[in-house]
Structure 1
Amino acid sequence: MGKNIVSLFPEKFRQVITDSIKNDRDKLEEIRVRINRPLELVLNGEFITFDDLHVNEVDGQFILNQLSGFSRYKFEEELKQGYITVTGGHRVGFVGRTVLEKGSIKQIQSISSFNIRIASEKIDVAQPMIRSIVNRDSYHNTLIIGPPQSGKTTLLRDLCRLIGTGWGTMTAKKVGVVDERSEIAGSKNGIPHYQVGKRTDVLDGCPKSEGMMLMIRSMSPDVIVVDEIGSHQDIEAIQETIRSGVRLICTLHSDSYQSVLRSKQLAPLIENNYFNRFVILDRNKKITILNHQGRPAWQNGGVTSELDWGNSFNYRQLSNRI
């Protein structure tokens, strides 16, 4: 966790947060702030509350000012969407009283809760499974599926690094990252904060649907990487990207492969076999990789494999099964 996260808080909170995670920095997942209630930290799935350290409205305003740079006007789009991404790829979500316009959210006012989700970089976390998405001298079009906090972006980031740098006998490919929320590369002023590959180019803060086409026109990538697809515009852009011959790796919020198959929004992609690999994650960091027919493409004994995201992984035992 960087200093920029601690600096979001008033002075009285900073030392408490720093002391609480000094031996467990890599385990911090979230910092939750609720007005008139105790500060909460989530470490490795377990939560800690500080009952003697309540957050008041002045504290909440301080955090909001730090996030917006004291300009609510520049913060207008984020206030509408309910989140902002800060340096390092950390996402800050917030809720409160909504202001509606023609039935849609115009912005969120009187913010009552913040959720700071800590981004992490875990080098080689994708190494055990990357062989299963190789297609000759390139890669399969791959959809990574999982609920929030299942590690989709962490896995995607390391795939970028490996594909854009090369590994084993695979040469480095030209990777184009369309990083709409600045979470994959964690860019500041357009410069990536995380390791995303030697041959990787990052388009930061651009809508995915527009960015995929821009990336193809301007950077001629071999592989395009995007996070959190879902809109109708995203689906159309994905079809155009794959039809153009560029490989695509992306993530999707979903609880299961079966839910993806039932999705009307995704039907054009699933029914026409746009994806050759489906990587399914859950909050326990289990991983299952299926081919376009829904059959296992990578396994360790059974259908699912355990991926220890915090430690090294012996993937040699799997190489003859892929």
Structure 2
Amino acid sequence: MPQPLMELFPTSLRHVLEQLPAFVMESLEEIRIRENRPLEISYGSRFSFVREDGTLTDEFRAAYVPSKEQCRALLERVTNHSVYAVEEELRRGYVTVPGGHRIGLAGRTVLDKGLVSHLRDIAGFNVRMARARIGFGAQVLPGLLDFKSRTIRHTLIVSPPQQGKTTLIRDIARCISSGEWCHPGALDWGSRKVGIVDERSEIAASERGVPTFDLGPRCDVLDACPKAEGIMMMLRSLSPEVIVVDEIGRPEDAEALNEAIHAGVRVLATAHASDLSDVFARPVLAKLAADGVFGNYVLLSRVGGKVEHRIVSAEEAVQETSRRYSRTIGATPRDAPWGTALPVASVVTPSPALVTVKARPMPAIRSPDLTAARGNDDD
């Protein structure tokens, strides 16, 4: 665990976490701290409770129990001793700390005209680790390339939470910005200008506007900026060739993405969904699919502790979701044995006519002359 993150925890709680086994520390993903309830961690595809001596147990009654005072001290450190300074983050239910680590918060919501104003009486924390995996994108990027325009196709990466979507788009952005296309047919391609709208400060983990993760030499970041507004700001002033955004799903996100596509910019985005049928069941994503926005869908899943991916074209996606099939409502738990299904709750029969993908010609993108020197493709 990074030392700056470890220093956020109160001394007694930090002492417990510092005793975790080395193999757990290397794959640690979440730390769940709940007032007067057992300390829980998630690592790889497993979860465990933690004893006071740092050893792991499946028996929650034997686990270390953080106190009210420890939770209050943790909140003070997470908010830098000023809850009011992070009021907007509290309204959204999380705070992002240096290093791109997101801390989800649970407590009592305060409403203003029926909408969540902020959280109070915070008694639960979910500390999610942010890690860069250099080379992760090399496994996926070759399947996303548009060889005619010498760039990527419009792509949506799909998975349930905690499957590696943000880690993947971070490394793909680095590859594109560095000109590392990971394909023998793209050895003479130049790099591309990448614009990242980092609403949750997780992709770049910027500190004072400077990314702390390696995003390559030709990447610009709008940190803590709403996606829709950030996309439009990028188009107006930063002339990106590829725009990267995380967790789309609101109508304004779709409008901004359409603007970017019509401006000749390629889009790489992520969304929460268990599979393609969930994508087409979400109104905003279904509308984007029907408009032919995305040329590729990347489906991420975990088998054991390994993340696997599958790339599906827009046409294949419609064919898959048009077939009659039965499935479980909700995703299979990550720790379930491979191939295990939950009891079938209902039968889902999508209509073949539910989504019709329109044929959309790709906008022309300026490409370097084949004889031009690498790096001069933007002149």
Normalised by the length of structure 2, the TM-score is 0.75
Corresponding position: 1:140 with 2:153: yes
Other-structure match for 1:103: 114
Which amino acid in 1 is paired with 2:309? I
Corresponding position: 1:290 with 2:312: yes
**Corresponding residue to 1:71 among 72, 78, 82:** 82
Other-structure match for 1:200: 219
Counterpart CA distance in 2 for 1:295 and 1:272 is 14
3-state DSSP class of the match of 1:193? coil
Work out whether residues 21 and 28 of structure 1, in 8 Å CA contact, stay in contact via their aligned partners in 2. no
Residue 173 (structure 1) shift: 0.6
Other-structure match for 2:349: none
3-state DSSP class of the match of 1:25? helix
Change (3 A) 1:41 1:263: closer
Other-structure match for 1:266: 285
Which structure dedicates a bigger proportion of its chain to strand?
Answer: 1
Q: Highest Rg: 1 or 2? A: 2
Residue 9 (structure 1) shift: 1.1
**Corresponding residue to 2:178 among 165, 185, 188:** 165
Counterpart CA distance in 2 for 1:276 and 1:93 is 33
Counterpart CA distance in 2 for 1:251 and 1:40 is 28
Aligned ranges 1:1-322 → 2 under 5 Å = 1-49=1-49, 50=51, 51=62, 53-136=64-147, 137-167=150-180, 168=182, 169=187, 170-284=189-303, 285-294=307-316
Which amino acid in 1 is paired with 2:197? V
Counterpart CA distance in 1 for 2:171 and 2:19 is 29
Residue 7 (structure 1) shift: 1.3
RMSD of Structure 2 on Structure 1 (CA): 1.5
| Greater relative CO, 1 or 2 (CA 8 Å, sep 6+) | 1
- Number of corresponding residues: 296
Q: Between 163-172 and 204-213, report the one with greater CA deviation.
A: 163-172
3-state DSSP class of the match of 2:142? helix
3-state DSSP class of the match of 2:139? coil
Counterpart CA distance in 1 for 2:71 and 2:8 is 10
Which amino acid in 2 is paired with 1:149? Q
Counterpart CA distance in 2 for 1:91 and 1:207 is 16
Counterpart CA distance in 2 for 1:45 and 1:18 is 21
3-state DSSP class of the match of 2:162? coil
Residue 204 (structure 1) shift: 0.8
Counterpart CA distance in 1 for 2:204 and 2:229 is 18
Counterpart CA distance in 2 for 1:281 and 1:46 is 18
Counterpart CA distance in 1 for 2:282 and 2:71 is 38
3-state DSSP class of the match of 1:108? strand
Counterpart CA distance in 2 for 1:281 and 1:94 is 26
Work out whether residues 276 and 317 of structure 2, in 8 Å CA contact, stay in contact via their aligned partners in 1. no
Residue 26 (structure 1) shift: 2.5
Deviations, residues 205-258 of structure 1 (Å, cap 9, x unaligned): 111101111112211111010101111111110110111100000100111111
Work out whether residues 175 and 221 of structure 1, in 8 Å CA contact, stay in contact via their aligned partners in 2. yes
Q: Between 205-214 and 279-288, report the one with greater CA deviation.
A: 279-288
Work out whether residues 13 and 66 of structure 2, in 8 Å CA contact, stay in contact via their aligned partners in 1. no
Which residues of structure 1 form unaligned runs of 5+?
297-322
Counterpart CA distance in 2 for 1:198 and 1:213 is 22
Work out whether residues 296 and 314 of structure 2, in 8 Å CA contact, stay in contact via their aligned partners in 1. yes
Counterpart CA distance in 2 for 1:54 and 1:261 is 42
Counterpart CA distance in 2 for 1:40 and 1:92 is 14
Counterpart CA distance in 1 for 2:283 and 2:256 is 17
Counterpart CA distance in 1 for 2:48 and 2:5 is 18
Normalised by the length of structure 1, the TM-score is 0.88
Work out whether residues 147 and 283 of structure 1, in 8 Å CA contact, stay in contact via their aligned partners in 2. no
Deviations, residues 19-50 of structure 1 (Å, cap 9, x unaligned): 20434433001000010012222221222322
Counterpart CA distance in 2 for 1:45 and 1:66 is 29
Residue 260 (structure 1) shift: 1.0
3-state DSSP class of the match of 2:47? strand
Change (3 A) 1:226 1:20: same
Counterpart CA distance in 1 for 2:248 and 2:317 is 23
Residue 143 (structure 1) shift: 0.3
Counterpart CA distance in 2 for 1:295 and 1:266 is 13
